[in-house]
């Protein structure tokens, strides 16, 4: 959807057009979350994809709900997003904008090799891990050796805060919740997944297609995140990316680079949407 000049009148979509777009969005989301919804009905947990609905607060039904975003009116449809809704969330929009701009402007680091998941289980027994029903590929001792043999440079607070107490001093960075713009970088898998969080926090002010694009990226990144983790998920069909080996590191970095390239236009799209919303609400983009 083109970015609108905030001074222009609302764009009006014909009923047939917006209903077709809404149906296409719902079908796309159903295909992405159908397996999760079926597992939830059966009470079956999944160590990879449940994360997208436990760590993130947006429910499948919310993701499925289509909106054209602010500035678009639907002929014979629901009321459009109001300017009051935009103004009420100006501070949120400005904060998201500042973080996205800072992240986009920082050099990408392709040398972390997903060590954050390993640091989360450092010096734990297998029954103490978050996914205790799945074994550690190298066992507790082997896992600890990998952590101790690598330089850990996790820049993402929401990953770092789950490090074990023994692992935190091994990290070369000390991110905290209030200084994310000072640390986050565009190759970080969690920063890439968090594009989905930023997108749904802006819903319904932005088009649902962009939210779904960010969700799909997060879903794909999560698979790499767990394939490169210390857990053995082969029984679920996830072959490991053995980051403890040179070959595994190369595979991880190549995949990470691909996700960074996919995430860049989505991050830029969110930045532009934030700037548009700030403009119509009388605010200004916040740059760190």
Q: Indicate the domain borders of the chain.
A: 11-280
Omega cis (within 30) before 15: no
Tell me which residue of 221, 159, 148 sits closest to 187, measured CA to CA: 221
pLDDT by position in tens, the chain (length 288): 334 444 456 899 999 999 999 999 999 999 999 999 999 999 999 999 999 999 999 999 999 999 999 999 999 999 999 999 999 999 999 999 999 999 999 999 999 999 999 999 999 999 999 999 999 999 999 999 999 999 999 999 999 999 999 999 999 999 998 899 999 999 999 999 999 999 999 999 999 999 999 999 999 999 999 999 999 999 999 999 999 999 999 999 999 999 999 999 999 999 999 999 999 998 544 433
Which pLDDT value is given to residue 1? Answer: 39
Q: Which residues contact 155 (CB under 8 A, 6 or more apart)?
A: 109, 112, 173, 175, 183, 184, 185, 188, 191
Where is 27: in which H helix or E strand? helix 15-42
Distance CA 192, CA 263 (A): 6
* Residue 17 region by backbone torsions, left for phi larger than 0, else alpha for psi between -120 and 50, else beta: alpha
Strand runs labelled E in 130-205: none
Q: Report the distance separating Cα 113 and Cα 251, nearest Å.
A: 9
**Residues written for the chain:** 288
Residue 111 CA, chain-centre distance (Å), reads 20
pLDDT of residue 4: 45
For residue 76, with 0-12 CB atoms within 10 Å meaning exposed, 13-18 middle and 19 or more buried, which class applies? exposed
E strands present in 77-193: none
> What is each CA distance from 26 to 21, 61, 187, 287, in whole angstroms?
9, 9, 30, 35
What pLDDT sits at residue 288? 36
Q: Of the candidates 156, 155, 252, 270, which has an alpha carbon nearest to the alpha carbon of residue 214?
A: 270
pLDDT at 8: 52
> How far from 189 is each of 114, 116, 146, 284, CA to CA, in Å?
8, 10, 20, 29
Query: What is the residue whose two structure tokens read 């992405």?
Result: 32
Res 88: pLDDT:
96
pLDDT number for residue 16 = 98
How distant, in Å, are the alpha carbons of 50, 53, 108, 163, 243 from that of 27? 20, 19, 34, 38, 36
Per-residue pLDDT, 2: 39
- Give the pLDDT score at 10: 82
């Amino acid at each position: 959807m083109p970015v609108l000049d905030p001074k222009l009148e609302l764009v009006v979509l014909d009923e047939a057009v917006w209903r077709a777009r809404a149906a296409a969005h719902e079908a796309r989301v159903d295909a992405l979350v159908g397996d999760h919804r079926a597992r939830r009905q059966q009470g079956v947990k999944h160590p990879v994809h449940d994360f997208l609905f436990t760590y993130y607060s947006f429910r499948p039904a919310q993701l499925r709900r289509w909106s054209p975003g602010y500035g678009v009116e639907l002929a014979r449809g629901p009321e459009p997003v109001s300017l009051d809704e935009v103004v009420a969330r100006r501070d949120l929009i400005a904060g998201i904008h500042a973080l996205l701009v800072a992240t986009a402007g920082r050099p990408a680091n392709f040398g972390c090799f997903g060590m954050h998941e390993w640091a989360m289980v450092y010096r734990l027994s297998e029954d103490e891990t978050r996914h205790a029903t799945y074994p550690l590929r190298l066992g507790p001792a082997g896992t600890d050796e990998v952590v101790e043999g690598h330089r850990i440079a996790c820049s993402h607070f929401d990953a770092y805060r789950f490090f074990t107490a023994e692992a935190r001093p091994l990290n070369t960075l000390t991110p905290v919740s209030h200084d994310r713009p000072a640390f986050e970088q565009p190759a970080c898998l969690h920063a890439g997944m968090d594009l989905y969080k930023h997108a749904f926090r802006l819903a319904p002010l932005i088009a649902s297609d962009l939210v779904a694009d960010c969700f799909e990226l997060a879903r794909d990144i999560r698979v790499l995140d767990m394939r490169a983790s210390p857990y053995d998920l082969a029984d679920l069909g996830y072959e490991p990316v053995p980051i403890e080996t040179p070959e595994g590191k190369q595979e991880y970095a190549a995949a990470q680079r691909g996700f960074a390239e996919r995430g860049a236009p989505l991050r830029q799209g969110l930045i532009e949407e934030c700037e548009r919303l700030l403009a119509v609400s009388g605010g200004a983009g916040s740059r760190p």
